Amino acid sequence: MPPIKSTPTSSGISRKNLISLGGVLFSGAIGGLLFWIVAKWTGTSLPTVFGQGTVAVLMFVGAVAGAIGVYLLTASDPSAIRTYIFALICGVAWQPVIGSALHMATNAAATNQSAQIGDKVEQIKSATNGGNAQQISTAVQNTVPAVNKALNLLTTVSDASRKAEIIDQSKQAIDQLQTTSAKAPDASVEALNSISLTAANSGQSSVAIHAIETLHTIGSNANRSNNPAIALKVQQSLTTLAAQSRDPSVQTAARTAAAQIAH
């Protein structure tokens, strides 16, 4: 009995799939060329930054749009003729197609960043339960970049649920930093300062003010427990926030909190 030959699956890298990809890219490139022709015909403005290379650039983005439309945005059958017609149309309509792909990528990045914040918060909790001040400080310091990156990413996220998720996770991180401040006050205050400033300057005033309220609580507790060094550090942090923030509401909240701790 002759051996059974294995055939590559349609999702793998095979000569057939590479040929299909080439056909999709070619169709998309033709779509990009059609975009240029229609624009010239109808008097639609075209990008001038590329000069004589405009047609080549439009064919390139058309090819990219065709591949995005066929392989990412839909589950098109590469053996069907309509797939290549669809790739051509994606090439003509390259702007919304590429925009949709960027939207998907941004949402995926936001989800990933939100998950990273959750992981960092769990690390802080574990370190806090362990009681080692150095480990707590390290966990706190590792959390700040994740939160700040997520807050900066929010300026490009259009999905309301993704935004709400990141904001909620950031506030949870802030709440955990308040708990952690009992064992690692210096690291917690510095972290809250950084998060609040990033939130304020990325348009997330609710997160910034939540961090300021947390700093105010830490400073007030320091005053009550006769710890002037931490109270002074919190006051200086709030004063810095008021000076560096571009958000008037955050500036006011920081100044008010600093004044209350000073008295």
Residue 12 — pLDDT band, cuts 50, 70, 90? low
Mean pLDDT for the chain? 85
Burial of 19 (C-beta count, 10 Å sphere; 0-12/13-18/19+): exposed
- Say which DSSP state 247 is in: -
- Say which DSSP state 70 is in: I
Whether 4 shows a pLDDT value over 70: the answer reads no
Whether 5 shows a pLDDT value over 60: the answer reads no
- Asked whether 208 and 197 are in contact (CB, 8 A), the reply is yes
Q: What is the pLDDT of residue 176?
A: 92
pLDDT tens-digit profile of 243-252? 998 889 999 9
Q: What is the pLDDT of residue 75?
A: 74
Residue 80 — pLDDT band, cuts 50, 70, 90? confident
pLDDT tens-digit profile of 173-195? 999 999 888 888 899 999 999 99
Whether 238 shows a pLDDT value over 90: the answer reads yes
Distance CA 150, CA 113 (A): 6
Q: What is the mean pLDDT of residues 141-160?
A: 87
Instruction: Tell me the percentage of the chain whose pLDDT exceeds 90.
Output: 29
Distance CA 241, CA 97 (A): 41
DSSP, collapsed to helix, strand or coil, labels residue 182 as: coil
Whether 7 shows a pLDDT value over 70: the answer reads no
Nearest Cα to Cα of residue 195 among 217, 210, 184: 210
What count of Cα atoms within 13 Å lies in the side-chain half-sphere of residue 77? 4
pLDDT tens-digit profile of 217-237? 999 998 888 888 999 999 999
Provide the residue type at 249 as one letter.
S
The token duo for 97 is 């197609």
Distance CA 263, CA 178 (A): 21
DSSP, collapsed to helix, strand or coil, labels residue 77 as: coil
Q: What is the mean pLDDT of residues 121-148?
A: 86
pLDDT tens-digit profile of 13-32? 778 878 888 888 999 898 88
Q: What is the pLDDT of residue 6?
A: 37
